[in-house]
């Protein structure tokens, strides 16, 4: 039986959308200051939709699995839908208990897409 932790580990071992895009429309990279891990996300946008997405970089199992799961989730979604994607939705998607220390790991990919696509200063302030 697959439990939620297996789901995370599976994405960590076999990340989806890992790599680079040819001529992405948006590229944004950020790190988790508490550990120095860094993730880069590349987006291709067509007709206000995420036509394609890739991530690269290094990070712990939670941050890498979260990037894999999140990029799968938002591929094909409209920018408006992505804009409305919040922390709670990300936690629901991951399906495991995330402790305070690990919250930045779990939210890194979401933060990068939001800051990259919209320059959402509010998100950045809220997170510091
Ligand atoms: Fe670095 Fe999780 S410990 S992103």
What's the CA-to-centroid distance between 48 and ligand 1, angstroms?
31
Q: Which atom of ligand 1 is nearest to the CA of 62?
A: 2
pLDDT at 123: 55
pLDDT at 118: 79
pTM of the predicted model, to two decimals?
0.90
Domains of the chain: total? 1
Task: pLDDT band for 1, please (50, 70, 90 cuts).
Answer: very low
Residue 126 lies in a domain: no
Residue 13 lies in a domain: yes
Residue in 72, 109, 77, 70 with CA at minimum distance from that of residue 92:
70
What's the CA-to-centroid distance between 19 and ligand 1, angstroms?
19
pLDDT at 125 over 60: no
Among residues of the chain, what percentage have pLDDT more than 90?
Answer: 76
Provide CB contacts within 8 A for 21, sequence distance 6+: 42, 43, 44, 52, 53, 54
Domain ranges, residue 70? 2-120
Cβ of 106 less than 6 Å from ligand 1: no
> Quick check: 96 and 55 in contact, CB under 8 A?
no
pLDDT at 7 over 80: yes
pLDDT at 121 over 60: no
pLDDT at 48: 87
Residue 64 lies in a domain: yes
> Quick check: 20 and 38 in contact, CB under 8 A?
no
For position 19, which CATH number holds?
Answer: 3.90.1010.10
Q: Which atom of ligand 1 is nearest to the CA of 61?
A: 2
Task: pLDDT band for 116, please (50, 70, 90 cuts).
Answer: confident
122 burial class (0-12, 13-18, 19+ CB within 10 angstroms)? exposed
DSSP 8-class letter at 84: T
Residue 128 lies in a domain: no
pLDDT at 127: 55
Dihedrals φ, ψ of 55, to 5°? -130, 160
Residue nearest to atom 4 of ligand 1 (CA): 105
Residue 127 lies in a domain: no
pLDDT at 100 over 60: yes
């Amino acid at each position: 039986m697959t439990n939620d932790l297996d789901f995370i580990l599976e994405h960590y071992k076999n990340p989806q959308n890992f790599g680079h895009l040819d001529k992405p429309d948006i590229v944004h990279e950020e790190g988790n200051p508490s550990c120095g891990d860094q993730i880069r996300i590349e987006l291709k946008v067509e007709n206000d939709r995420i036509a394609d997405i890739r991530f690269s970089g290094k990070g712990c199992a939670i941050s890498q699995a979260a990037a894999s799961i999140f990029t799968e989730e938002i591929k094909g979604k409209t920018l408006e839908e992505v804009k409305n994607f919040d922390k709670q939705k990300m936690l629901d998607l991951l399906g495991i208990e995330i402790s305070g220390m690990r919250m930045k790991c779990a939210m890194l990919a979401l933060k990068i897409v939001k800051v990259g696509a919209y320059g959402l200063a509010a998100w950045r302030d809220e997170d510091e």
